Amino acid sequence: MAGIIRFNELTQQLVVYATDRANRPMQKEESRTPKTDDLPVRDVRCPFCPGNEGQIPEILYETSDKNGEWRTRAVLNKYPALTYEKQIEDYKTGIYTSVTACGRNEVIIESPIHNIDITQMPQEHVEQIIETYVKRYKFIYENYKEIQNIIIFRNHGADSGTSLVHPHSQIAGIAFTPKYITDKETAAKNHYEKQNHCLICDMVEYEMQENERMVYQNKAFYCFVPFAAEVPFEIWIAPKAHEGEFLNLGDKDQIELADALKTSLTRLTIRINDPDYNYVIYSGSRGEKTRGHLHWYLRIRPRTEKTAGFEIGTGVHINPNLPESDAKILRGEASILPDR
Ligand SMILES: [Zn+2]
Ligand SMILES: [Zn+2]
């Protein structure tokens, strides 16, 4: 059954209703805290483990190691938030509006090993995860013209909202543009029109000069705690060179991104004691004619803080940590414990 999106007239926000997801298997009792060491290498009940291929939809893409054993796989999400519908319809219910929830939701299984994390994988394995991201992103972008936005995301740990512990990411193509994304792209466009520069290029350039909030950098990527980080230890990974589209990430830069991602996550794991987190790759929406203002980036958002009444009431976040101090801790120049 097609899902439905309802529009809140007052907040101008969209809500997806995907009631089939209530049936999805949950393994929440096996929280990632205290993490992978407590889990088996293979779990007979896990649909992503080798030998349980009967429990997953058709394999859409696969990478393998030197011996021909699979390393990463892409499959359709069995319990998608959004499904692809040829017919997109609007519905009116009195003063309210709903629309068909159209999109495409794939799962990227990151490894055949049930209890491994990105931080424990060899570098070339992380490169294959990035390669899989790029290949699936391109496929969806080129084959589903109705899809306006594609995000890639990863949920790590019980507090991140993940339902299965086997290492995996998701890619969601959506046939509409959420207000959150429109607002960010409008802000970037306004900056570009005034300054004639891309906002994220300007941010990266300023951060590189200041070097106060830097977490890590390599040839192609700069990893930093943003100036107005919403939560403690938030990290953004942005390409140093201007690029609006994640799908243009070439082979060499895929290696650099794997290094930047693995290093940033390792710093979180070691220095902040492996917090639960979500990360999201944001790339430009389809159809923007002048794309000078769009610059893709990856945002890691740790889940160490619970959203409370003030945040819900105002939409304004309260962050108990200053980004500059967080960056120092992530670089290993200060300890998470206050100095005595
Ligand atoms: Zn598994
Ligand atoms: Zn830029």
Structural domains in the chain, sorted by start: 3-21+38-176 (3.30.428.10), 180-331 (3.30.428.10)
Contact call for residues 324 and 233 (beta carbons, < 8 A): no
Closest ligand by atom to 222 CA: 2
How high is the pLDDT of residue 330?
97
Q: How far is the CA of 319 from the centre of ligand 2 (A)?
A: 27
Q: How far is the CA of 227 from the centre of ligand 2 (A)?
A: 17
Q: How far is the CA of 217 from the centre of ligand 2 (A)?
A: 17
Give all strands of the β-sheet with 70-76 in edge-to-edge order.
59-64, 70-76, 103-109, 168-174, 149-156, 277-282, 297-302, 235-239, 221-224, 214-217
How high is the pLDDT of residue 288?
64
Cβ neighbourhood burial of 335 (10 Å; 0-12, 13-18, 19+): exposed
How high is the pLDDT of residue 242?
96
Using CA of residue 241, residue 155, residue 116, residue 58, what is the dihedral sign?
negative
How high is the pLDDT of residue 287?
77
Q: How far is the CA of 187 from the centre of ligand 2 (A)?
A: 13
Contact call for residues 312 and 195 (beta carbons, < 8 A): no
Q: How far is the CA of 279 from the centre of ligand 2 (A)?
A: 20
How high is the pLDDT of residue 339?
45
Q: What is the pTM of this model?
A: 0.92
How high is the pLDDT of residue 290?
63
Please give the helix or strand (H or E) that residue 75 lies within, else none: strand 70-76
Closest ligand by atom to 40 CA: 1
Q: How far is the CA of 267 from the centre of ligand 2 (A)?
A: 26
How high is the pLDDT of residue 80?
87
What string of pLDDT tens digits covers the 340 residues of the chain?
678 888 877 777 878 887 776 677 655 444 444 466 789 999 999 999 999 999 999 999 999 999 999 999 999 999 888 888 888 899 999 999 999 999 999 999 999 999 999 999 999 999 999 999 999 999 999 999 999 999 999 999 988 888 899 999 999 999 988 999 999 999 999 999 999 999 999 999 999 999 999 999 999 999 999 999 999 999 999 999 999 999 999 999 999 999 999 999 999 999 999 999 999 999 999 876 567 899 999 999 999 988 889 889 988 899 999 999 999 999 999 987 554 3
Q: How far is the CA of 50 from the centre of ligand 1 (A)?
A: 8
Closest ligand by atom to 168 CA: 1
Q: How many residues are given for the chain?
A: 340
Contact call for residues 322 and 328 (beta carbons, < 8 A): no
How high is the pLDDT of residue 30?
42
In degrees and rounded to multiples of 5, residue 306 shows phi and psi of -95, 140
Closest ligand by atom to 188 CA: 2
Q: How far is the CA of 308 from the centre of ligand 2 (A)?
A: 34
